[in-house]
Amino acid sequence: MGRVWDDVVGTQPPPTSPVVWVTGLVALVLVAVPVTWSIGRHVVTIAHEGSHGVAALLSGRRLAGIRLHSDTSGLTVSRGRPTGPGMVATAAAGYVGPGLLGLGAAYLLRERHALAVLWLAVLLLGLLLLQIRNFYGLYAVLVAGLGVFAVSWWADEQLQSWVAYAGTWFLLLAAPRPVLELQAQRRRGRARTSDADTLARLTRVPGLVWVGVFLLVTVGCLVLGAGWLLARAR
């Protein structure tokens, strides 16, 4: 635990500018190419459902469990008032969660805390694992958590920095895509129970407006986070 704490509070030298650009390019390929996106989309779902769970707990609701499915869908169940600010916050957190997580990671990288990014990811995945209620969800979160833990514990400092940057780039770049996919599904009438439509019923604000809010937040996180990552490069 002493070593982990030293890693979290310590600082690491920032990577060179080519490394920052290359990790960003790798993340962009993962998001843009259909084959790699079908795999990377699971990471976004983990962040999405985890954000629902955190928002539910912070707003005073009781988290009943999270399920992740092999088709990259997920479900977070919480108990409490079916309306009100707590339910609105819980429903709104999912699509903006990955972008906000990426922004937080970018801030830590700007402050030269690459290992803190990795160990916080391990911590969050470990806490999420306690709330998973289906086998595939256990498998997905466990694989992700063990992968990040292995890099955090055994990899050299250079590789750890590269992974932290690549993961941060991925969250920032990936966050807007599910929002665009959501609106495409809504246009075809296939997303009547989506977060945007749930929020529309709760607030009487049209679902399209909520989609716009999701997109504005995720793109804003991408622009700000990318600026922080590029500014820190040597």
- Write out pLDDT tens, residues 76-105: 999 999 899 999 999 999 999 999 999 999
Backbone angles phi, psi at 64, to 5 degrees: -100, -10
Task: Name the token pair of 114.
Answer: 């690459």
Give the pLDDT confidence score for residue 8 in this predicted structure: 67
Full residue range of the structural domain in which residue 228 is found: 7-232
Per-residue pLDDT of 137-147, as tens digits, reads 999 999 999 99
Whether 71 is in a domain gets the answer yes
C-alpha angle 89-92-93 in degrees, rounded to nearest 5 = 85
Beta bridge partners of 62: 79
pTM of the model: 0.95
Whether 88 is in a domain gets the answer yes
Handedness of CA 156, 157, 162, 167 (dihedral sign): positive
Q: What count of other Cβ atoms lies within 10 Å of the Cβ of residue 223?
A: 11
Q: Does the pLDDT value for residue 73 go beyond 90?
A: yes
Whether 2 is in a domain gets the answer no
Whether 156 is in a domain gets the answer yes
Residue 191 gets which letter from DSSP? -
Per-residue pLDDT of 187-202, as tens digits, reads 888 777 899 999 999 9
Q: Does the pLDDT value for residue 234 go beyond 60?
A: no
Which range, of 6-10, 97-101, 128-132, averages the lowest pLDDT? 6-10
Q: Does the pLDDT value for residue 64 go beyond 60?
A: yes
Whether 165 is in a domain gets the answer yes
Whether 210 is in a domain gets the answer yes
> C-alpha distances in angstroms, 222 versus 121, 149, 151?
19, 26, 25
Pairwise CA distance, residues 47 & 27, whole Å: 16
Whether 207 is in a domain gets the answer yes
Residue 175 gets which letter from DSSP? T
Per-residue pLDDT of 162-186, as tens digits, reads 999 999 999 999 999 999 999 999 9
Pairwise CA distance, residues 234 & 211, whole Å: 37
Number of domains the chain is built from: 1
